[in-house]
Chains A and B, each alone.
Chain A
Amino acid sequence: MVVGEVAVETDVVVIGGGPGGYAAAIRLGQLGKSVVLIEKEAMGGVCLNKGCIPSKALIHAAGEFHKLSSMGKIGIRLPQGESSFHMTEWQQWKSSIISQLNKGVSHLCEANGVTVVKGAATFLSDDRVGVETGHDFETFKFEHAIIATGSRPFLSGFLERDGTHILDSTDLLQLTDVPEKLAIIGGGYIGMEMGMAFSKLGAKVTVIEAAERILPQIGAAFSQEIQKQAKKLGMTIKTSTKVETATVVDGRVELRLFSEQDGEELLIQDKVLVTIGRKPNTEKIGLSQADVHVDERGYIPVDQSCRTNRPHIYAIGDVTPGMALAHRAAKQGVVAAEVISGLPSANDSELVPYVIFTEPQIAGVGLTREEAEQLGYDVKSAAFPYGANGRALATDQGSGFAEVIVDTKTHLLLGMHVVGAEASNLIGEGVLALEMSARAEDLSMTMHAHPTLSEVWMEAAASVLGHAIHVVNKK
C-alpha cells in the first residue's frame, strides 16, 4: 500500500457477502446508505455456494433416487434394469442452481445501490479497510463496518484434510462419483445429513461419533428416530467412539478407532468426511488494528444490536457466538443495518428455529422439555405421531412425530419440535406461534387444512390438553 493513498469514503463497509452480509448490504441500500460489500469468493457465501443450497440439492437428488426402490409398493413398475445416479450430471445441475442464485444476489445488490468489491478485506485501522483485489489494493474509509466473514469447517490436528481422501463438507459436495465406502467423523447435523444422502445414493456409510448418541444437541427421542432410519438405510453408527489415527494408504484411508465397548478397530474407507464443528473466520481480517475484541474461541461478542466492543463496528452471523445458521445471520444483518440507520431494531428473540435435513427431517423452536424444566417451568408435553395423520400415510411418510411443550398452568407454548416429513416447512407455524406467545388452545382451535401434515400441530396441541381426536388420550 502506498502511504497517503486516497481512500474511497463510504457510509458502511460490509465484509463478507454471505446470507448475513448481503442482507445487511441490501437493507442499508434501502435505507439510503452508501455501502461497499467486500467478498473474496462468490456472492452468497458458504450457504449458497458450498453449504445449505448445494447440500440440499444433493439431499433432494438422493431422496428422489432412493424413492425409486419403494415404487413397487405403491404400484409403480419401473422399466427393467438397474437405476443409476450420475454425480457429474448432478454437479452440472447444482452449478446451474448456484449460478442462478449468485446472479439473483448480485442483481439485488446492484438494484439497491450496493457496490460489490471482490477481494480479501483487512482492517487497517478503526475507520479504514484495505482490500486486495488480486492485482490492486483499494482502501475504503467508513463510518460503520459490519463483519460478516462467516465460518469454515474445523479440522483437528491429525485429521488433516487433503481434499482427495480426507474431505470437509465443501470437498464432499464437489465429488463426481459416489464413493463406495464413506466414513463420516462427527454425527452432528452435517454428518447425518450427508451420511444419509450418500447412503441413499448407494455408498456404504459409517458414522463415527464421540458422544453417546448422534445429534447430541437435540432431544433423545428425536435422535432415536434418526438412528432407527439410519439403520434401515444400512448405515453403521458407531457412538462413544474416537478416531485415533487416519492414514492414507494406497489411495484408501485407514482409520484406527477406539471405543470402550469394542476396543480398537481398523476401518478401511475410500473417503472420509470430517464434520466435527465450525470455526469463525476472524483471524485474517486485522481485527486487532480496529481494536475489535474476540473471545477465547475466536468469536466476536456482540450486543442485541450486533455492536462489537467498538460501537461503530458490528458483527453478524457465524463470527458471533451462537448457532451457525444462515437465518440467524440474515436477521442479524438486517438488525445491524437498521441500527446503523438510526432505527430502534434489535436482535431480541431467542426463538431461533433449527432444521436438519435428515431422513426424516427434524425441526424445532423454543425450549426442549429438559430446558424448560431447568428454567423452573412446570411442564406438560404431548407428541402426535405421523402414523395417525392421513396425509403422512397417503404419501408413504408415516414415521415421525410432533411434540409440543407447554407450561402446565397457562398452557403457554414453550417449545415445538417435530421429526418427520416436511418438518423444515412445518416449523414456520411453530416459530410464529411462539413469537406471538400463543397457548396450546390457540393452536388446537385454529383450523388446519385437511389432509395436510400441518394437522400434526393441531393434534399435538389438543393432545396436551387431553382431547386429541386421532389418538387415544392419556387419562
Chain B
Amino acid sequence: MVEFKLPDVGEGMHEGEILRVLVKTGEFVQMDQPILEVQTDKVNAELSAPASGVVTEIFFAEGDTVHVGTTLLTIDNGTKTEKAPPPKTEETKAVEAKEVKEPVTAKSVGQGAKRVLATPFVRQMAREMKIDIEQVQGTGPIGRVTEEDLRRFAQVPHAKPSKEKIVEPALQPVSSAAKGSSASREKIEERILLKGIRKKIAEQMVKSVSTIPHVTSVDEFEMDELKAVRERLKPFAEKKGVKLTFLPFFIKALVLALKEFPMLNSSLDEESNEIVLKHYYHIGIATDTPQGLIVPVIKDVDQKSIFELAAEISSLAQLARDGKLKMEQISGGTFTISNVGSIGGLQATPIINHPEAAILSLHKMEKRWVVREDEGVIRWMMNTSLSFDHRLIDGVTAVKFTNRIKELIEEPNLLFAEMI
C-alpha cells in the first residue's frame, strides 16, 4: 500500500485546491500516470502516480483544499505498510497529529502548568528573536527546544500567537510603552501572514539581492519609428485576432542582442563555479496579477514571429491573472523584461530574476524635447533600466548591449534585415 501525499510542487506552497481527479477508486494506475490536478496560489500542477497499482481510496473530491503532506489517495501495489489505515475523517487526523506531536512538545515543571523545556539561554534567545517559545517544536532530548530549533522556526512565517500567550511586554520599547496604550497600537497596525505568492516573491528577492551584485544602467530610446511601424501593422494583427503591443518588438530586438552578447543570457552556477551560457532564449515577462508579481516565460522566442509572440503574451498574461499558469509556464527563463511603462515611472533599479544575469525595465513612453542636429525637437521617448550581474558582465558590455537594442528599436527596419 502506498500513501500518496500532496507534495510541495515547488514555490513553497502550503496548500492547494484539487482541480481534477483523473482516476477512480478501483482503477489500475501505472507509475507516473497523471492522477490529480492541483491548483496552488500560483500554478496548476499535474500530479502523477508514485507507483503502479490499484487505487484503493481517494480522500478528497474536486474543489477540496488540502494542505501539503496530507494523504490524497492510496494505491495498493502489493506491499504492506506498517501504518494504521489512513485517516478517514478530519477528526481521526487530528488525533493522529496529536499523537505524533506530543513527545516533542513536552513541557514540565512549575506550579500550575507544565512549562516548555528549554535552557535559560535558549529562552532568552527566543525573546531576543521575538519568538513565543511555546509555539516552537523542540528537537532536542525529550523535545527540548534548542538554539537550532529557534533559528529554523524564525525562517518560516507563523501565525501570530493568541494574545494570552504573548510574553511580549518585555519586548516593547519601554519608553513608548509607558505612554501609548496597546489598544491604539492595534488600530494603526495590522498583521498579515506572509504566505503563498507574496512569500515566494519575498524569498526570491532576498536571494537575488543577497547573492547578485546588481548594477543598473539607464538609457533612453527614441520610439517614433517603432510607433509608426506598430501603427502600420496593427490592422494586420487585428485581422489575426492579436493585440499588438510594443513588447514583441522589444523581445525580438532583445534576442538579437542576446545572441551577440551571450553573457547577458547566462547564469552563474555558484556550486560548480561555472558560467552557464544558454543557447536557448526563454524570456520572462514580469506580470502584475491580483495576487502579486508573476513572471510567465515565453519559450524559444528566437523561433517565434512578432505576431506569435504578441498572441502568446496576451494568453499567458490572462492565465497569470486567472491563476491558471502551470509550473512549466513560470520556470526556465533566461532573461526577464519588466514592462512598467504602461503604469508610469521615469527609471528604476529592477532586481534580477535569480539565477538570470540581467533584467530590462521599460518605462513610460512620452513626448520630450530632445536635440537632433542642433535643434530642439519633440520626440516620443522611452527610458530603459538594465540591471545586470556585475560578477558576469562589465559595465562596458552592458552599455554596448543596451546600445544594440536601442539601435534595433530606433531603426526597426533592422529587425527585418537581421531576420534569419
Contacts and interface: CB of A to CB of B under 8 A. Distances in A.
Interface in B111-137: 111, 113-115, 117-120, 123-124, 127-128, 130
A376 B175 CA distance: 42
Interface string B45-57: 0000000000000
B142 interface: yes
A291 to B, nearest CB: 13
A435 B120 contact: yes
A439 interface: yes
Contacts of A143: 175, 178
Given A407-B108, A412-B106, A144 B174 contact: yes
Interface in A324-372: 339-342, 344-346, 348-351, 366-367, 371
Nearest to A412: B142
B108 A344 contact: no
B169 A367 contact: no
Nearest to A434: B109
Contacts of B414: none
Contacts of B170: 304-305, 339, 344-346
Contacts of B127: 344-346
A435 B108 contact: no
A45 interface: no
A415 B174 CA distance: 36
Interface in A123-181: 143-144
A113 to B, nearest CB: 20
Interface in B164-214: 167, 169-171, 173-175, 177-178
A302 to B, nearest CB: 10
A395 interface: no
Nearest to A405: B109
Contact of B124 (A303, A311, A344, A375): A344
A256 B312 CA distance: 104
Given A342-B173, A410-B142, A348 B123 contact: yes
A307 interface: yes
A435 B116 CA distance: 11
B169 A311 contact: yes
A233 B117 CA distance: 43
Interface string B309-353: 000000000000000000000000000000000000000000000
Interface string A377-411: 10000000000000000000000000000010010
Contacts of B106: 410, 412
Contacts of B42: none
B282 interface: no
A437 interface: yes
Contact of B167 (A348, A375, A407, A414): A348
A312 interface: yes
B69 interface: no
Interface residues of A, number: 35
B144 interface: yes
Contacts of A435: 119-120
A412 B117 contact: yes
A388 to B, nearest CB: 28
B171 A344 contact: yes
Interface in A312-326: 312
A367 B178 contact: no
B290 interface: no
Contacts, number: 83
Contact of B169 (A144, A305, A439): A305
Given A304-B167, A304-B169, A342-B173, A351 B124 contact: no
Contacts of B119: 435-437
Given A311-B178, A339-B174, A348-B123, A414 B142 contact: no
Contacts of A414: 108-109
Nearest to A367: B109
B126 to A, nearest CB: 9
Given A342-B174, A414-B109, A437-B141, A349 B120 contact: yes
B241 interface: no
A371 B112 CA distance: 9
A307 B113 CA distance: 21
B157 interface: no
Nearest to B145: A437
A218 B198 CA distance: 56
Nearest to B177: A311
Nearest to A304: B167
Nearest to B115: A350
B117 A437 contact: yes
A222 B271 CA distance: 65
B136 to A, nearest CB: 14
Contact of B109 (A342, A366, A439): A366
B376 interface: no
A415 B109 contact: yes
Contacts of B85: none
A351 to B, nearest CB: 6
Nearest to B140: A437
Contacts of B108: 377, 407, 412, 414, 437
Nearest to B117: A437
A230 B175 CA distance: 54
A340 B174 contact: yes
B120 A439 contact: no
B354 to A, nearest CB: 34
A167 to B, nearest CB: 33
A415 B110 CA distance: 9
A437 B109 CA distance: 9
Interface in B252-270: none
Contacts of A349: 115, 120, 123
Contact of A344 (B110, B111, B128, B175): B128
Contacts of B173: 342
Nearest to A307: B169
A40 to B, nearest CB: 27
Interface string A404-436: 000100101011000000000000000000111
B26 to A, nearest CB: 43
A371 B111 contact: yes
B81 to A, nearest CB: 26
Contacts of A339: 170, 174
A350 B174 contact: no
Given A346-B127, A437-B118, A351 B109 contact: yes
Contact of A437 (B110, B130, B142, B175): B142
Contacts of A351: 109-110
Contacts of B123: 346, 348-349
A346 B167 contact: yes
B268 to A, nearest CB: 40
Contacts of A348: 120, 123, 167
Contacts of A341: 174
Contacts of B117: 412, 437
Interface string B215-235: 000000000000000000000
Given A342-B173, A437-B119, A350 B167 contact: no
Contacts of A345: 124, 127, 170
Interface of A: 143-144, 303-305, 307, 311-312, 339-342, 344-346, 348-351, 366-367, 371, 375-377, 407, 410, 412, 414-415, 434-437, 439
26 contacts: A143-B175, A143-B178, A303-B169, A304-B170, A311-B177, A339-B170, A340-B174, A342-B173, A342-B174, A344-B171, A345-B170, A346-B170, A348-B120, A348-B123, A349-B120, A349-B123, A351-B110, A376-B114, A410-B103, A410-B106, A412-B106, A412-B117, A414-B109, A435-B119, A437-B142, A439-B141
Of all A-B residue pairs in the complex, the 3 with the closest CB atoms, nearest first, are: A350-B110, A344-B127, A312-B178
Interface of B: 103, 106, 108-111, 113-115, 117-120, 123-124, 127-128, 130, 140-142, 144, 167, 169-171, 173-175, 177-178
Given A375-B114, A437-B108, 9 more contacts: A303-B169, A312-B177, A339-B170, A345-B127, A350-B109, A350-B111, A414-B109, A437-B118, A437-B141
